[in-house]
Amino acid sequence: MSEMDTGFSIRKTTRDDLPTLLKIESEVSPFPWSARQFGESIDDHDGCVLLKGKRVIGYLFYQQVLDQAELLNIAVRPSFQGEGLGSLLLNMCMDTLRDTTVQLHLEVRASNFTAIGLYLRAGFKQIGQRRAYYRSEMGREDALLMAYNFLENGAVSV
């Protein structure tokens, strides 16, 4: 577990986190991941939870294949949003991948301006778009494809 000066800590996700992850996801996503999706991510991908004391307040999952990685899901409890904790989780993930990854990819709802701002501030660039990718209350919504290039940012040498 990683301890931070602010009373926050980060540790690897476990199956015991599943009920809390589902609760947070239902609070932040109009179409939340299922218990099955979280279970598969806990078992098959890299994930961590952000804690304030012993309380899980956020999480992040990513998948790395060779020198490429994909951010699968990131969320922070609504009552803790706006405090830079999403950036904290994202930066931790990027620091973990920095020496072994060429690009970190993600998809984000075109209407999720808060997340898009987070990714742009972290150095991601939009590299494409998937039309009508996400379900939405109005039918379908586009996904923006974004990537962070570690080579361009001087992080990795392959």
| pLDDT tens profile 44-94 | 999 999 999 999 999 999 999 999 999 999 999 999 999 999 999 999 999
- The enclosing domain of 99 has a CATH number of 3.40.630.30
Number of domains comprising the chain: 1
If you count them, how many residues does the chain have? 158
Instruction: Kindly state whether residue 155 falls inside one of the protein's structural domains.
Output: no
Instruction: Kindly state whether residue 135 falls inside one of the protein's structural domains.
Output: yes
The one catalytic residue in 59, 62, 119, 148 is 119
Residue 143 CB neighbour total at 10 angstroms: 19
Q: Would the pTM count as exceeding 0.85?
A: yes
Instruction: Kindly state whether residue 50 falls inside one of the protein's structural domains.
Output: yes
Instruction: Kindly state whether residue 157 falls inside one of the protein's structural domains.
Output: no
Whole domain around residue 12: which residue ranges?
Answer: 2-149
Active site residue 119: yes
Instruction: Kindly state whether residue 125 falls inside one of the protein's structural domains.
Output: yes
Instruction: Kindly state whether residue 68 falls inside one of the protein's structural domains.
Output: yes
| pLDDT tens profile 90-116 | 999 999 999 999 999 999 999 999 999
User: Cβ distance 150 to 101 under 8 Å?
Assistant: yes
